Amino acid sequence: MNEFQGNPNFNISNQTVSASCPSNIALIKYWGKYENQIPANPSISYTLNHCKTNTFMEFFADEEFSVQTYLAGNEEKKFAEKIEKYFKNIEDFLPWILKGKYIIRTENTFPHSSGIASSASGFGAIAKCLMDLDEQFSGKIADDLKAKKESFLARLGSGSACRSLYNGLVVWGKTDEVEGSSDLYAVQYPNEEIHPIFKNFNDWVLLIHEGEKSVSSTVGHGLMKTNPYAERRFQEAHENFTILKEILKTGDLQNFIKLVEHEALTLHAMMMMSEPAFILMKTGTLEVINKIWNFRKETGLALFFTLDAGANVHLLFPGDSDSDKIKEFIVKELLQHTQNNGVVKDEMNF
Ligand code: PMV
């Protein structure tokens, strides 16, 4: 039992709700988990401004429980099965959830095949819709508890989704460095402890490889259970929080770059050290990384990268006066390593 336990007294009716939720990109990565989506280490991410999922949910009360899902107008049976399983899993927290039929229409503002994680924004938007329904059926709850429960529910759909419910820099997983942090839901990193340089940033995602990845993140997390380097990695993530806290406060961009790139490469190193090993980076990923390093050496400009569990490269750079030179370099030198000149331009301003 916890504070998210559902109210057993509810009154259901036909309803339509909608919600929008952004994606996020982690700086300190979550990779490895325990039972019930408990993360093996704390993580922190930027919530993106533009890459979002918009979701419309129709609930038909007192019909047999079923879920139909449409992605950009096309029926997606596999996604519906996943959502059915998810709904069954969260009944303790929303006791009315299996008492009706759902039609869920969802669309992303970024290309579907881009490999940008739509599970974070997707489950974030679904959790928001569910909490709107919950308020209709079980009565209003305080705004801060509602946001916390949205994050809690999103986590049970896809771990990193819980961070998408807040703007700015967001922390998930217990760490002594962030007051109020929890393994069960995400919290916003205190705004007043972030130097202004980190509050206006670009994230341009180079689409090196579009389409399905060869190994899902569920399988990847699972392989951390037998990875001989796992414990050291989890410990390092904690240590990196201590370092990052100081960096964020002082505006130490050089050490920010060092830490963020190290985290990205560690994530992929963990994949290579798994049994069986797997590699999600492509030739283009490595070519881009080398070009970024050369560019930084030659110009001293703050262009750097992070990686998700895939081949695409998130190009990070401050939204300051140097950004035009950096953008020119990206278009001239980096775009050629993408599959279809694909780049998704996002930013973080808060
Ligand atoms: O939320 P999941 O299970 O898709 O895991 C995502 C893990 C990474 O994107 C690689 C890192 C992170 O912290 O977002």
The pTM of this model reads 0.97
CA of 161 to the centre of ligand 1 (A): 8
Q: What letter would DSSP give residue 192?
A: G
Contact 18, 53 (CB under 8 A): no
pLDDT of residue 62: 85
CA of 255 to the centre of ligand 1 (A): 23
Contact 117, 106 (CB under 8 A): no
Which of 3, 18, 6 lies closest to 134, judged by CA? 6
- Mutate-to-test residue for ligand 1 from 27, 29, 213, 260, highest number of ligand atoms within 8 A of CB: 29
- Mutate-to-test residue for ligand 1 from 21, 23, 25, 31, highest number of ligand atoms within 8 A of CB: 31
SS (H, E, C) 275-326: CCCCCCCCHHHHHHHHHHHHHHHHHCCCCEEEECCCCCEEEEEECCCCHHHH
Terminal Cα distance for the chain, rounded: 35
User: Could you give all domains of the chain from N- to C-terminal order, each with its CATH number?
Assistant: 2-192 (3.30.230.10), 197-349 (3.30.70.890)
Nearest ligand 1 atom, CA 31: 7
Spatial CB neighbours of 37, under 8 Å, sequence gap ≥ 6: 155, 156, 159
pLDDT of residue 212: 74
Q: Whose C-alpha lies nearest to ligand 1, atom 6?
A: 160
Tokens of 44: 């922190």
pLDDT of residue 110: 86
Written as one letter, the residue type at 15 is: Q
CA of 32 to the centre of ligand 1 (A): 9
CA distances 148 to 29, 141, 187, 327, 348, Å, are: 21, 11, 8, 37, 22
Ligand 1 close to Cβ of residue 119 (< 6 A): yes
Tokens of 75: 């029926």
The mean pLDDT values, 10 residues at a time, for the chain of 350 residues are: 88 98 97 97 98 97 96 94 98 98 95 73 97 97 96 97 98 98 98 98 94 86 98 98 98 98 98 97 97 98 96 96 94 96 94
Q: Say how far apart CA 329 and CA 342 lie, in whole Å.
A: 15
Residue given tokens 């940008």 in the structure block: 116
CA of 319 to the centre of ligand 1 (A): 25
Assign 59 to helix, strand or coil. strand
Q: Say how far apart CA 11 and CA 26 lie, in whole Å.
A: 39
Assign 273 to helix, strand or coil. coil
Tokens of 62: 């007192």
CA distances 88 to 22, 59, 219, 232, Å, are: 25, 15, 22, 35
pLDDT of residue 117: 66
pLDDT of residue 1: 57
Residue given tokens 């988990």 in the structure block: 33
Ligand 1 close to Cβ of residue 309 (< 6 A): yes
What stretch of H or E contains 223?
helix 217-223
Report the largest interatomic distance among the alpha carbons of the chain, rounded to a whole angstrom.
66
Helix, strand, coil percentages (3-state) for the chain, rounded to 5, are 45, 25, 30
Spatial CB neighbours of 42, under 8 Å, sequence gap ≥ 6: 28, 171, 172, 173, 174, 175, 178, 181, 237, 238, 241
Residue given tokens 């069960």 in the structure block: 184
Q: Exposed (0-12), middle (13-18) or buried (19+): which is 310, by Cβ within 10 Å?
A: buried
Tokens of 14: 């036909």
CA of 299 to the centre of ligand 1 (A): 32
Cross-strand bridge partners of residue 187: 171
CA of 114 to the centre of ligand 1 (A): 16
Nearest ligand 1 atom, CA 172: 13
